[in-house]
Amino acid sequence: MRIGAIDTAAGRRLVEVDGDRVRELEFDGDLAALLTAGLDAATLARGSEHDGAAVTLEAPVRPGKIVAIGLNYRQHATESGVPAPEAPLIFAKFPSSVVGPSAEIVVDRALTQSVDWEAELGVVVGARMRNVPRERALEHVFGYTAVNDVSARDAQSGDGQWVRAKSMDTFCPLGPVVVSADEIGDPQALRLWTAVNGEIMQDASTADMIFGVADLLAYCSSNFTLEPGDLLITGTPWGVGIVREPPVTLQPGDVVETGVDGIGTLRNPVVDAG
């Protein structure tokens, strides 16, 4: 099942996206609320149907928390000039940074001069997790989505930690849908990529992760509770802008496309806050 969200006259509604058809789900709440209630989205009644070309998909989930993983692809660690971590490197990204799959990425030049892209596989937790072993971790996944972990590199290096640099408003485009785990199958066999103004910048496979999705979920749940609707973003592969010669940064007028096979593509224009 492919779940998205749209804005209607009655407020934001969850929808089932089936090709060119978008059908509202009869549920008064977002995806996190649906998962917390323990409801099966597939059994919900369908409401109004829309032409997919005539609606704008919004962020399909508003997570209670975003748990992010750094340096989780070997080639990305190599291009960054650091050794591969021996355990998952965890940081937080504020949920207020979330925007939809076609929303603008807003760059405030008073805060940052070096904005970068990071294509990532997002994992939506479907059931509460605490001390879940690796062997059972994927049982707790509701589905997967595409994420661009937009990063202010100068703030990231200047602060000595990553939260502010990763959490500026609009710095977490995600979507276009959440695809249920049963449709994805193996999360370690997905191509993910980034293009800026049509030029491919990242092109890799989740098979190259240092720590796979099951490992990450088990490790996180051994340290803190994961709740239904929480989002785990699993790291980015090689090809970020900051390590290029010369470095490439996002500029107003750029268009960033971020895709994960089997899920879809984000297409976000970059604008100046001014």
Find the radius of gyration of the CA atoms of the chain: 18
Sequence spans of domains, the chain: 2-54, 66-272
The tens digit of pLDDT for each residue in 107-146 reads 999 999 999 999 999 999 999 999 999 999 999 999 999 9
- Pairing status of strand 2-8 against strand 172-180: antiparallel
For the domain 66-272, what is the CATH code?
3.90.850.10
d(CA 270, CA 268): 6
Name the architecture of domain 2-54: Roll (2.30)
DSSP characters for 92-125? EE-GGGEE-TT--EEE-TTT-S-EE--EEEEEEE
pLDDT tier, 83 (very low <50, low <70, confident <90, very high otherwise): confident
The tens digit of pLDDT for each residue in 15-47 reads 999 999 999 999 999 999 999 999 999 999 999
- Reduce the DSSP state of residue 261 to 3 states and report it: coil
Identical fold, 2-54 and 66-272:
no
pLDDT of residue 84: 85
Does the model's pTM come out above 0.95?
A: yes
pLDDT tier, 245 (very low <50, low <70, confident <90, very high otherwise): very high
pLDDT surpasses 90 at 75: no
